[in-house]
């Protein structure tokens, strides 16, 4: 059994939208208040506040006349906010993430999580707690037969679009076994180059809408803060950003699914995107390519379908190594698309790098050589 999330867009009624807006506001308040208290307790008293203590504070806040409005939304999303904050602190303590941040209204996606018992799902209809009618959901694909959501997360993005993510337990069958293996070299001109010689052109989604984005950002700079015109301008900026993100995500999903279905073993490089974007000349193009998101998709889809994703050392000289004889050239300027080795082999730079990555991945699978511990 595997836990999978299915995300759909839904269209709330005015009453549902108003109730969700209050829920989002209370969730944001509880999260920020608990974060402030935990930060204060540590900086001033060197004391860690536990989840149980924040839960007691939430109960007391509902009884306080000044914050009695916390009783309006269901209690499930408020408790879920405290659990998510606790998980964020655990990730910070284990050095898997940075320190938790405060949530600001209008700049982040609003969300609320409902655990089992705080919603009902019957006959394909989902009804949230304290709502009298089911959500009008655009079921773009059905849930697995017999699956019942164990957790539901509703969200509203900066464009005003509502989405619901349902977490279900389902049986995922491994794909048909194959002996195919592929090495992947990430790039900018070509989004990825496969060791088979295939190149996936980088559509550069951000560059396509750069003029629209610049015009929308200039319009955002003119209105006064907190004015209605500024809110409208912010919505136009969010619309442009959202279209870019949607197109990028759709391409990455199609590409990662095809690669996983066609190959038993996928070999990639352990790229440090965070350090690479410090190059101001390439930061925009690297961020638009979204290599880290592609890697994430490949890893979780491989786990679903019984495939293997091997990550080789980021310092492996794949670009300067001859895939025919193994010789490593001293220098290879960035603008050289082809080069010739002393052995006489003529290489396409990206295709050769993908072949070397595949060979290194096979070596890792055989003896574990040259690989760092996997990410946790």
Catalogue the active-site residues: 185, 269, 350
- Reading the block at residue 40, the tokens are 């204060």
In the block, tokens 């136009």 appear at: 236
Residues 6+ apart with CB under 8 A from 20: 12, 112, 154, 156, 162
Over the range 204-221, which residues count as b (16 or more CB within 10 Å of their CB) and which as e?
A: bbbeebeeebeebeebbe
How is 56-76 classified by DSSP, letter by letter? Answer: HHHHHHHHSGGGGGGGSS-HH
Angle between helices 14-45 and 75-93 (to 10 degrees): 40
């Amino acid at each position: 059994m595997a836990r999978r999330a299915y995300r759909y867009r839904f269209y709330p009624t005015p009453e549902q939208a108003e109730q969700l807006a209050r829920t989002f506001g209370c969730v944001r308040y509880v999260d920020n208040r608990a974060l402030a208290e935990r930060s204060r307790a540590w900086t001033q008293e060197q004391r860690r506040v536990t989840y149980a203590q924040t839960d007691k504070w939430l109960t007391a806040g509902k009884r306080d006349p000044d914050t009695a409005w916390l009783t309006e939304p269901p209690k499930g999303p408020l408790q879920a906010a405290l659990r998510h904050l606790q998980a964020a602190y655990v990730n910070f303590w284990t050095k898997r993430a940075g320190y938790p941040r405060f949530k600001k209204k209008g700049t982040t996606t609003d969300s609320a999580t409902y655990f089992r018992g705080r919603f009902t799902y019957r006959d394909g209809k989902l009804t949230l707690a304290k709502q009298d009618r089911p959500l009008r959901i655009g079921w773009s694909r059905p849930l697995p037969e017999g699956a019942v959501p164990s957790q539901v997360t509703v969200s509203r993005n900066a464009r005003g679009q509502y989405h619901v993510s349902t977490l279900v337990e389902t049986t995922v069958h491994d794909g048909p076994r194959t002996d195919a293996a592929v090495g992947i070299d990430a790039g900018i001109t070509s989004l990825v180059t496969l060791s088979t010689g295939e190149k996936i052109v980088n559509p550069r989604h951000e560059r396509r809408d750069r003029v629209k984005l610049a015009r929308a950002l200039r319009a955002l700079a003119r209105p006064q803060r907190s004015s209605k015109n500024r809110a409208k301008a912010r919505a136009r900026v969010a619309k442009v950003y959202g279209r870019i993100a949607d197109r990028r995500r759709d391409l990455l999903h199609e590409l990662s699914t095809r690669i996983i279905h066609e190959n038993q073993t996928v070999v990639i490089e352990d790229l440090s995107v965070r350090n690479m974007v410090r190059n101001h000349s390439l930061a925009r193009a690297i961020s638009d390519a979204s290599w880290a998101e592609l890697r994430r998709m490949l890893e979780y889809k491989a786990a679903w379908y019984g495939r293997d994703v091997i990550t080789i050392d980021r310092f492996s000289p794949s670009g300067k190594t001859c895939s025919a004889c193994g010789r490593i050239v001293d220098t290879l300027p960035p603008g050289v698309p082809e080069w010739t080795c002393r052995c006489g082999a003529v290489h396409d730079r990206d295709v050769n790098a993908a072949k070397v990555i595949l060979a290194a991945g096979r070596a890792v699978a055989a003896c574990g050589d040259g690989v760092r511990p996997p990410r946790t």
